[in-house]
Amino acid sequence: MEKKLRTKDKIVQASIELFNAQGERQVTTNHIAAHLGISPGNLYYHFRNKEDILRHIFKEYTRLLESRIQPPGDSTEALDALANYLDVVFELMWRFHFFYANLPDILARDPALHKEYQAVQEQVLARVVRVLNALRQAGVVEMPEQEISEFAHTIKLVVTFWISYLKTQAPEQTIDQASVYQGVLKVLLLFKPYASPAAMPRILQLQQHYQRLAGLPTSMSV
């Protein structure tokens, strides 16, 4: 579909790759240019500075997020909406894990990006609240209505900082796709005490699905 990327796009793609592999902080504009075999001057022709590149990457991330998430409020079943949310969020989290590995640092350096991030997060929070309300109305979870908003924040916190947590725990910063998907299991664990008996089988089924993605034996209890 798009065989020859323009230099500008190549810079964005190479940056994502290098940031994920080595950490955003360790990768300089010179490294990116060298990796592509272009000059630093050329890179600065296409982007004003490193923050500019990061803003473009975030835009790409947002675009993917919005295109992948199911339109809200349609006829899909409540638990499927949850699974869709988890699938999309954790897949993108893996593809852009450098961003989550140092989120406060990256946002602190660029107020403009921070604002964009917050705008997106408001949408995400609203989405999570909608999914939770649907689960509640479908009788999948039993939870006081006033707690939903707070619970949504807790979920968002666990999701957002799962990768950071991994990095603080791991001896080396070896983040792989399987370890990222272990975060989904942590989120499901938050749901478990609220699950209605009738919904338990389906929740256990979801759990096994993600245990496979996380490279864990499915017999393992969570």
Q: Which is nearer to a second copy, 35 or 114 (CB)?
A: 114
The Cα 222–Cα 189 span in angstroms is 7
Contacts of 206 (CB under 8 A, 6+ apart): 79, 82, 83, 188
Nearest 10 degrees: Cα torsion 187, 217, 213, 198: -50
Positions in 2-61 near DNA (CB under 7 A): 6-8, 26, 28-30, 37-42, 44-46, 48-50
The binder of a second copy chosen from 154, 176, 212, 215 (CB under 8 A): 154
Piece of the chain touching a second copy by CB under 8 A; list 12-20, 48-56, 78-86, 191-199: 191-199
Measured from the Cβ of residue 52, the count of other Cβ atoms closer than 10 Å reads 15
The binder of a second copy chosen from 162, 180, 184, 214 (CB under 8 A): 162
Contacts of 129 (CB under 8 A, 6+ apart): 148, 149, 152
Which stretches of the chain bind a second copy, using CB under 8 A? 23, 25, 101-105, 107-108, 114, 117-118, 121, 143-144, 146-147, 150-151, 153-154, 156-158, 160-162, 164-165, 167-169, 171, 173, 186, 189-190, 192-194, 221-222
